[in-house]
């Protein structure tokens, strides 16, 4: 009986470690793809030589949470301010409530008027957010998370802050990067995802 218990426990530990390594690898692959996209975008603020200055928090699965999604029907939309002063129209698509490190949180999800009418991006959703790490270890203007309609399953949405990223404004001025609305200001520090750009620091 004891040997069976030990064997079962050992198998469980091995499975858990394999899952953890697999998750780490997925985030590493995600970040490599993220870097490559800078080189593929003709409007990118970064060149290949700049990519070594991109910095990220340590990967931590604690910052991957499942939240309860609530749909919001917004037919009017609203003006979202940007760092360049340009106004962009967005619609509130819904909200998601979750618990992060024992702290209840809520974020609103938006849909761009421009993208909802662009082929291939009709189902694109966007969560800009701020948190206490801004102007300390992460970009002062907040960070972003991207989703598609299909990511919402049975009124639940998985949020992985390890994939949160900086807007182009974190690297260079002149871009119309949306400023996260105050309603998306988190009270808890999110030490996950992209950090301050390292060049010149």
The two three-digit tokens of residue 178, written as one number: 């949306």
Rounded to the nearest 10°, the torsion over CA 83, 132, 79, 155 is 130
Nearest C-alpha neighbor of 164 from the set 49, 63, 83, 96: 63
pLDDT band per the 50, 70, 90 thresholds, residue 5: very low
What is the per-residue DSSP string for the chain? -HHHHHHHHHHHHHHHHHHHHHHHHHHHHHHHHHHHHHHH-TT-S--GGGGGG--BPPP-GGGEEEEEEEE---SS-EEEEBTTS-EEEEEEEEEEEEEETTEEEEEEEEEEHHHHTSTT-TTEEEEEEB-TTBTTTB-TT-EEEEEEGGGEETTEEEEEGGG-B--GGGT-SS--PBPPPGGGB-SS----SB----TT-
Contact between 34 and 56 under an 8 Å Cβ cutoff? The reply is: no
Share of the chain above pLDDT 90, in %: 88
Query: What is the reported pLDDT for 21?
Result: 76
Site of tokens 């790490």: 133
Contact (Cβ atoms closer than 8 angstroms) between residue 126 and residue 145: yes
Indicate whether this model's pTM tops 0.85: yes
Cα–Cα distance, 180 to 129 (Å, whole number):
5
pLDDT at site 200: 54
Write the pLDDT tens digit of every residue in 7-58. Answer: 444 444 444 445 667 999 999 999 999 999 999 999 999 999 999 999 999 9
Query: Is a pLDDT exceeding 50 seen at residue 186?
Result: yes
Decide if 181 contacts 165 (C-beta within 8 A).
no
φ, ψ of residue 49 in degrees (nearest 5)? -70, -20
> CB–CB of 134/126 below 8 Å?
no
Give the model confidence (pLDDT) of 109-128 as tens digits. Answer: 999 999 998 999 999 999 99
Domain extent listing, the chain: 57-184
pLDDT at 20: 63
d(CA 187, CA 119): 36
- Cα–Cα nearest to 170, from 29, 33, 57, 44: 44
């Amino acid at each position: 009986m004891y040997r069976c218990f030990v064997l079962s426990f050992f198998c469980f530990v091995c499975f858990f470690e394999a899952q953890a390594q697999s998750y780490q690898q997925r985030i590493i692959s995600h970040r490599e793809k993220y870097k490559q996209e800078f080189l593929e975008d003709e409007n990118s603020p970064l060149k290949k030589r700049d990519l070594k200055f991109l910095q990220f928090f340590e990967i931590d699965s604690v910052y991957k949470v499942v939240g309860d999604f609530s749909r919001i029907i917004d037919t009017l939309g609203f003006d979202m301010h940007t760092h360049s002063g340009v106004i962009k129209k967005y619609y509130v698509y819904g909200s998601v409530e979750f618990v992060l490190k024992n702290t209840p949180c809520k974020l609103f999800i938006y849909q761009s008027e421009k993208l909802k009418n662009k082929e291939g991006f009709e189902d694109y959703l966007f969560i800009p957010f701020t948190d206490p790490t801004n102007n300390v270890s992460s970009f002062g203007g907040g960070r972003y998370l991207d989703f598609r309609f299909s990511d919402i399953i049975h009124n639940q949405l998985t949020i992985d802050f390890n994939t949160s990223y900086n807007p182009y404004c974190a690297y260079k001025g002149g871009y119309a990067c949306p400023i996260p609305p105050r309603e998306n200001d988190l009270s808890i520090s999110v030490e996950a995802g992209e950090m301050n750009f390292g060049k010149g620091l």
